[in-house]
């Protein structure tokens, strides 16, 4: 982290262009609501979009596991063991997001 790092995000009512969701890896259609964030980390600017439901699931999972920052769980990049951890939780609490990640009940 450097001293001028920042991160800010907000929910927007409709994106102008389609984007890829950072959390599930699927497309967010244009004109759909989305969570949009921008920031600077280690000198690099970045922007990201997430489905509103995926954002909610990601934040709720971070609250549950207390994994933030570099430890934050990005569902689409999770390995097999991590999927085994959050899969059942997602199915129970955020079934829409579980479906986007192709997580199936046992």
Q: Report the residue number whose CB is nearest to Zn ion.
A: 21
- 65 vs 76, beta carbon nearer Zn ion: 76
Q: Does 49 bind Zn ion (CB under 5 A)?
A: no
Separation between Cα atoms, residue 31 and residue 15, nearest integer Å? 5
Per CB under 5 A, the list member of 24, 34, 56, 101 interacting with Zn ion is: 24
75 is written with which tokens? 């569902």
Structure tokens at 102: 């192709």
Q: Taking the C-alpha atoms of 74, 76, 81 and 83 in order, what is their torsion angle to the nearest 10 degrees?
A: 100
Q: How far is the CB of 98 from Zn ion (least distance, A)?
A: 11
Q: Given the rule CB under 5 A, which residues bind Zn ion?
A: 21, 23-24, 51, 54
């Amino acid at each position: 982290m450097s001293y001028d790092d920042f991160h800010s995000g907000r929910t927007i009512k409709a994106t102008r262009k389609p984007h890829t969701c950072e959390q599930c890896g699927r497309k967010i259609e244009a004109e759909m609501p989305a969570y949009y964030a921008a920031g600077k980390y280690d000198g690099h600017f970045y922007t990201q979009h997430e489905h509103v439901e995926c954002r909610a699931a990601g934040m709720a999972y971070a609250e549950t596991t207390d994994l933030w920052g570099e430890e934050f769980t990005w569902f689409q990049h999770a390995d097999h063991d991590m999927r085994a951890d959050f899969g059942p939780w997602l199915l129970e609490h955020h079934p829409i997001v579980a479906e986007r990640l192709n997580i199936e009940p046992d």
